[in-house]
Amino acid sequence: MKSAVIVFPAANCDRDAKTALTQMTGKEPHMVWHQDSELPDVDLVVLPGGFSYGDYLRCGAMANQSSIMGAIKAHADKGGAVLGICNGFQVLTEAGLLPGALMRNAGLKFLCKPVGLTVEETQSSFTRKYDKGQEIHIPIAHGEGNYYADEETLDRLEGEGRVVFRYTDNPNGSARDIAGILNEKRNVLGLMPHPERVVDDALGGTDGRAIFQSLIEALS
């Protein structure tokens, strides 16, 4: 599986994503600067977590204006896999690649801790190595992780099996406990928790490994 990680100004998790992908695939991903206009020939594009452009305006709004976003949209339109983690999820909603928006946490505080998730959907390239209903623990680190969409959109996400992860104890007020969703083609995943931080026992857990294992199996 060939992969690329997008590097935005102030997005501080690009190296975490690089380390996880290198460990899981045995190959270093391409590190693509946000002002590049083209992607290398890859199967997977990762939009990492962090605070692109210092989270000015709305989280992800300025990153969505980066030159590379046109190539990412084209990659997704062709069926290429895109994974947006935390700030990457916010960028994907700003770009219209995923519905809804991420708002300030309900408690108006930054949250940084492991959280419980339930795997809701395993029929995707991102989750096939999990079991449906499996409970996992993955850390969050965000101040704007409160997922919002109108009721019609939420019903559609539920009805089409596009809610992939759900919080077991909702930390941020997200609608219907949603922690991660797919697009209609099921090749774009956005989630607020950080799976790249739990792929090694030395870091305190391995519950994020199955996302990368699923992608390797699906895309290799």
Q: Evaluate whether 197 touches 21 at the Cβ level (below 8 Å).
A: no
Residues 6 or more apart in contact with residue 74 via CB below 8 angstroms: none
Confidence of residue 172 (pLDDT cuts 50, 70, 90): very high
CATH code, domain carrying 205 = 3.40.50.880
- Number of domains comprising the chain: 1
Mean pLDDT score, 125-140: 98
Confidence of residue 147 (pLDDT cuts 50, 70, 90): very high
Q: Evaluate whether 189 touches 181 at the Cβ level (below 8 Å).
A: yes
Which residue type is seen at 28?
A: E
Whether 19 shows a pLDDT value over 80: the answer reads yes
What is the residue range of 128's domain? Answer: 3-219
First-last CA distance in the chain: 5
Which residues have a catalytic role annotated?
86, 194, 196
Residues 6 or more apart in contact with residue 187 via CB below 8 angstroms: 76, 79, 80, 81, 82, 125
DSSP one-letter code for 133: T
